[in-house]
Structure 1
Amino acid sequence: MKRVTMQDVAKLAGVSKSTVSQYLNKRYDYMSEETKQRIENAINILGYQPNIVARSLKQKKTSTIGVIVANILHSFSTKVIRAIEDFCNDNDFHVIVCNADDDPVKEANYINMLRAKQVDGLIVFPTGGNLELYEMMAAQNFPLVFVDRIIDGLLVDTILLDNEKAAYLAVEHFVNYRHTRIGIITTSLNRKVTPRIERIEGYKKAMTHFGLPIVDEYIKGVDLDYIQNALHTMFSLKEPPTAILAGNDLVLMEILKYAKEHSINIPNDLALIGIDDVPFAPIFTPALTTIAQPAFEMGKKAAQILLGKIKNEHREQARIHRFPPVLIVRETT
């Protein structure tokens, strides 16, 4: 089947090829409603589809961005992605989402693939394992925004929760309920992932502020597959914790699973707070007390900054953009 061209549309609409081009690029300044209607009718009759590749080469942009998320299983990540997609859709940009599975090799492959596809910019939840790639993009002034994780020594706009404040709010709430044996569990600390490190630091600062001892056995940072073992070790102590802060939503689910399997009553035997307001928190029994991240606001901010860079409208020096956490009190404390 012969491909329908812009010239075919122009001929059927009775206008010039340049007028059709102006219509497709939404430049209507000197175009009558009657002309626009004729072009639209011709496009519909012929089934014309613009050659996006040719247009991209001519305009030197694809109106497409890439989002590389460290782990798409986190509810926070999916909310951020949704906000990014919403904002980009409103601004006629397309989004390609890739999941790195916390694997630096996979992340590097996605960065190279997306750049080969000529995306106009990237929003990355960095694994932290591709410093040379990050540095190269920054040196090239390639539009780049990080989410959730800081890469030390690299000046890139980064969207981040006030993680220390989040942990402080949890400890403060536990203390208000007269808990003194308070623990924290998060996923692996091996790559020094920013939220995990900062949440433990915030926990320690809060414990010190309230005059409570910091017990090393109450602090765990392990791979998700070993959370159950870590919990078993913690609850085998002579004086196990009576309250635990779950560092993220995946850890929270592991704690709930352990409590169910070992007949630990929440909150009577164990008070529990999770960072990330998971969708099932208000309908779980008992309803889960959580620390919420403003994920949609964070995703929108990331997209705003990136599109501003792409359009040369964002000229501020790169910095870390912190967002405040919110304690949502329910029934598990």
Structure 2
Amino acid sequence: MTSIKDVASVAGVSVATVSRVLNEHPAVRPDTRARVLSAVAELGYRPNAVARSLRTDQTRTLGLIISDVLNPFFTELARAVEDAARERGYSVIIGNADERPALQEHHVRTLLDRRIDGLLVSPTDGGTAVIRDAVRARTPMVFVDRWIRGIDVPVIHADGRAAVHDLVAHLYALGHRRLAIIGGPRSTTTGNERVEAFRTALRAHGLPLPEKYIGQGDFQTESGRRATAAFLDLPDPPQAVFATDNLMALGAMDELRGLGLRVPEDMALAAFDDIPWFLHTDPPLTAIAQPTGELGHRAVQALINLVEGRCADSVTLSARLVTRRSCGESEGSSSR
């Protein structure tokens, strides 16, 4: 196996000079740098990542803990994070919490044991002790999409409140007055924020949000089915349902279809988190779209800033409404 000493011998420089070139130290003359890189290419030398991490106390590795790898939103987010990290010379280890706090805690411990340089987390709940301990130990950390109140780390997320107001205004303009919502877990910031935004938007149009029109979901398909079935059992079922997650929206659509009901003729349906599948459902689903790719890139940049000793601020992006035929409208319009 080629060693750093072999590279130094071929390039005619010291081992220390080779190390400086490989670590992109500025204090190396251009012609020396070129000789070293030429020797590296000629010999096919690959630095030992473990040895380098022991010397520099950095592994050039980031951890990403997502709430549910089967959710297309988090799949797209993970891809954006990997792309952004690779562009900056970092690799990513992903842990899937599956919306389970205990599994989230397991992944945090495992990633910290692997000496990752920093951690991106989309929390499943209000915050486990291991996350708080990691922050207290000054582990570079950034929350993405969701966050934990009371923990002072940068948060990269999309504010969907204006888009929810646009959705309610859209449904109201289409003549819908009995509007229901399938909320996510109350322990998540996104679950609470979306329900409150919906309630506020209804109030602006003089509409109530009775408890019977609030379905409790868990960001999983089956909970969308259960909540929709409960709505349909009411004496006066809602005219439109807003699922605060894409998987719950698909569950709601499955429940309606299984009962022989049509969207939007029998019940209008909309979702938070637009995904490519929604263009191909029958009918295509109205949805609130987050800038998922940008969320991933901005989160990686914030985390690397912390890892490399720079400051990092929280970032709030905007979500937007994409209207399609599932609420009764013509397809293709959008706002914001």
TM-score by length of 2: 0.89
- Contact 2:160 2:320 (C-alpha < 8 Å) held by counterparts: no
Which whole-Å CA distance do the structure 2 matches of 1:273 and 1:308 have between them? 37
Change (3 A) 1:27 1:153: closer
- Of the structure 1 ranges 53-62 and 38-47, higher mean CA displacement relative to structure 2 is found in 38-47
Counterpart CA distance in 2 for 1:103 and 1:276 is 21
Structure 1 vs Structure 2: percent identity of aligned residues?
33
Give the match for residue 214 of structure 1. 209
1:202 maps to which of 197, 211, 226? 197
Number of aligned positions between the proteins? 325
> Which residue pairs with 1:301 in the alignment?
298
**1:265 CA drift (Å):** 1.4
2:23 equivalent among 22, 25, 38? 25
Does the Cα contact within 8 Å between 2:224 and 2:243 map onto a contact in 1?
no
Task: Summarize the alignment of residues 1-333 of structure 1 with structure 2, pairs less than 5 Å apart.
Answer: 3-27=1-25, 30-33=28-31, 35-36=32-33, 38-128=35-125, 130-189=127-186, 192-223=187-218, 224=220, 225-314=222-311, 319=314, 321-333=315-327
Q: Which amino acid aligns with 1:216?
A: E
TM-superposed deviation, 1:215:
2.1
Kindly provide the amino acid, as one letter, of the partner of residue 11 in structure 1: S
- SS of the residue aligned with 2:149? coil
Partners of 2:300 and 2:111 in 1: CA distance: 17
Q: CA RMSD in A?
A: 2.1
Rate the CA distance shift 1:215–1:309 in 2: closer, same or farther, 3 A: same
Cα pair distance change 1:106/1:31, threshold 3 Å: same
Give secondary structure in 2 for the equivalent of 1:152: coil
Return the offset for 1:83.
2.1
User: What stretches of structure 1 of length at least 5 have no aligned partner?
Assistant: none
Report the AA paired with residue 26 of structure 1. E
- For 1:222 and 1:165, how far apart are their aligned partners in 2? 22
Contact 2:274 2:290 (8 Å CA) reproduced: yes
SS at match of 1:332: helix
Instruction: Please give the alpha-carbon distance, in whole angstroms, between the structure 2 residues aligned to 1:4 and 1:134.
Output: 41
Residue 77 of structure 1, CA deviation: 1.4
Preserved contact between residue 148 and residue 159 of structure 1 (Cα < 8 Å)? yes
State the Cα distance separating 1:92 from its structure 2 match. 0.9
Task: Determine if contact 1:308/1:314 at 8 Å carries over to the other structure.
Answer: yes
Letter of the structure 2 residue corresponding to residue 208 of structure 1? R
Shift of 1:45: 4.5
**8 Å contact 2:21–2:28 — kept in the other structure?**
no
**Conserved? CA contact 1:75–1:278, under 8 Å:** yes
Question: Are residues 324 and 32 of structure 1, via their aligned partners in 2, closer, same or farther at CA, if it must alter by over 3 Å?
Answer: closer
- Find the aligned partners of 1:41 and 1:121 in 2 and give their Cα distance: 32
Q: Distance in 2 between matches of 1:28 and 1:207?
A: 59
d(CA) in 1 for partners of 2:133, 2:200? 36
Distance (whole Å) between structure 2 residues aligned to residue 53 and residue 271 of structure 1: 55
Mapped to 1, the partners of 2:65 and 2:115 lie a distance apart of 15
Q: Which amino acid aligns with 1:116?
A: D
The one of the two structures with greater contact order (alpha-carbon pairs below 8 A, sep at least 6) is: 1
Distance 1:164 1:36 in 2: 52
Q: CA deviation at 1:255?
A: 1.4
Structure 2 unaligned residues grouped into runs of 5+:
328-336
Quick one: which amino acid aligns to residue 144 of structure 2?
Answer: V
Measured against aligned partners, the alpha-carbon deviations of 1:238-275 in whole angstroms (never above 9, x if no partner) come to 21111111110110110121122122211222211111
**Could you report, residue by residue, the CA deviation over 1:66-96 in whole angstroms, capped at 9, with x for unpaired residues?**
0011112222212222222222112111111
Letter in 2 for 1:164: R
* Letter of the 1:98 counterpart: G
State the shift of 1:28 in Å: 6.3
Verify the 8 A CA contact 2:194 2:244 in the aligned structure 1. Answer: yes
